[in-house]
Amino acid sequence: MEKQEQISTGAKELLYQSGFGNSFSSEAIQGALPQGQNNPLVCPFGLYAEQISGTAFTAPRKLNQRSWLYRIKPSVTHEPFKPRTPTHKKLVSEFNQSTSSATPTQLRWKPEEIPDSPTDFIDGLYTICGAGSSFLRHGFAIHMYSANKSMENCAFCNADGDFLIVPEKGRLSITTECGKLHVCPGEIVVLPQGFRFSIDLPDGPSRGYVAEVFGTHFQLPDLGPIGANGLAATRDFLVPTAWFEDEVHPGYIIVQKFGGELFTAKQNFSPFNVVAWHGNYVPYKYDLHKFCPFNTVLIDHGDPSVNTVYLCPLISVLTAPTDKPGVALLDYVIFPPRWLVAEHTFRPPYYHRNCMSEFMGLVYGKYEAKVDGFLPGGASLHSCMTPHGPDTNTFETTVSRGTDETPSKITETMAFMFESSLIPRVCPWALESPRMDHNYYQCWMGLKSYFSHEGSDCYNKEIQSKHS
C-alpha cells in the first residue's frame, strides 16, 4: 500500500510517500504519467520515457528493482565524461595492497574538523576503510564527510553502489530525480546506485558517515522469531514525491563516481527535470527514533544483531545480504534509547571477538560501553577477531553497582554500527590522520584480574567487596 505523508520542515513542507519496497508512483503535473503502458509512442506533455534499473532485467520478480522516469530531456543529453580536475585523491572503491592496509589493531578517530575553505559534499567525502571491489560488484566502502557549502550548479551520481548517509551535524536538503528529501541528524537516507542528486546545507556546516555497498541493495531484515512486528516498520520509510526544474542551466556539471574515480560531464539543463515517475527503485529516508528495539527481559545480554535497522536478526535497521543465509555484506545496526532490565547480568555490551568486522559511529549523546573518549562525529573500527568491549571505567562502574540494580533507561543517545562479514582494509590517510586516537588501547589497560580459586561464592564476595 502507498501512503502520502506531509512532513513539516520549518519554512517548507514536503509531501512524502511511505512504505518500503513498494511500487510507487508520483506526478508533479496531473496526467503526466502514461496510463496502461510504460513507453508509449508519445508521452503526455511531450516528455521522454527513461528507465533506471537497479537490478538485472532478468532478476526474479521479488528482487527486481527499476523505475520509469518521465522527463523534459533525457539524461543522455550531455557532453562526454572527462576525468575531474583536480582529482579527488581520497575516494577508494578497489581495496588492495596498493590502496589500503590491513591491521587487526583496534582503531578510533576523534571527530573531523569542519573545513576552513569552501567544501561541498563531494569534496568533503573521504574513504576510511572497505573491502572488495566495485568493479567485481562485491564489497563495501565506509566513508565520512565534512562540508560547509551547498553543491552549486552540479549533481553527483554514484555508479559504484548505494549510499547510506548518516548525518551527525547539520541537516541535508537533498534533491533527487524522484523529488526532494530533508534529512536531519537522527535520520538516515539511502541514495541508490545511479541516481543523480544534489545536497544543500540549510544549517551551514554538516558532518556525518556514509556506507556504500557494491553489487547489492539494502533491504529490511527478516524478523524470524520476533514475528510480524517490531524493529523498523515499513510505513516509516519515506519516499519523495515528484518535483522538477524546467530551466536553462548553462555549464551544469554531472559528477559521476565510477570505479572510485570522479568524472565530469557538462549539460545545459538540470538533471532534476523529472515531471512524473513510477517504480520501486527509489531514494528514501528513515527516522531512527521510530525504531522499535527488542531486548533481554530476564537474564544475559542479547547479541547486537537485535538492533539492526536493516536486520541482522534482531537490532538491525537495514541489511545488505550475501548469498549465505544470515551473513551480511553490510548491516546497519543502531543502539537507540531503551530500557535495561536484565537481572544479575552485566548489562553493557560484553567482551567479544567477532567473525564480523564492526565500524561504529555516534550521532549524539554517549555510547554505553565507551562513556569517555568516543565522541559524536568520531568513529571506531574493530576488525574480524580483534577483541573489544567496555572500557575500564564502564566495567568498574557496572560491577560496583552489585546484583541489586533496578531497571534503568538509556536516554539521549544514538550510536550505530556498520557490520560486515568482509575484512576491511584501512586507507592511508585514515591511519595517518591527526584525528587518530593513538591512546585508544589504554581504555582497557586498567582492567584488573579478580581471579580467585577458592570457589564461586568467595569470588563473588571478593569482587563485590573490592568494588564497594
Whole-angstrom distance, CA of residue 320 vs CA of residue 328: 6
301 is catalytic: yes
Peptide bond into 60 cis (omega under 30): no
94, 133 Cβ separation under 8 angstroms: yes
Report CA Rg, the chain: 24
Dihedral, CA of residue 167, residue 375, residue 331 and residue 225, to nearest 10:
-110
Residue of 112, 168, 187, 358 marked active site: 358
First to last CA, the chain: 57
Whole-angstrom distance, CA of residue 344 vs CA of residue 224: 27
Picking from 216, 223, 232, 202, the residue whose alpha carbon sits closest to that of residue 309 is 232
278 is catalytic: no
358 is catalytic: yes
Residue of 301, 343, 462, 467 marked active site: 301
Picking from 136, 127, 142, the residue whose alpha carbon sits closest to that of residue 423 is 142
360, 417 Cβ separation under 8 angstroms: yes
Strand bridging mode 315-321 / 307-309: parallel
Whole-angstrom distance, CA of residue 304 vs CA of residue 309: 11
Question: Would you please indicate which residues are annotated as catalytic (active-site) residues?
Answer: 301, 352, 358, 382, 388
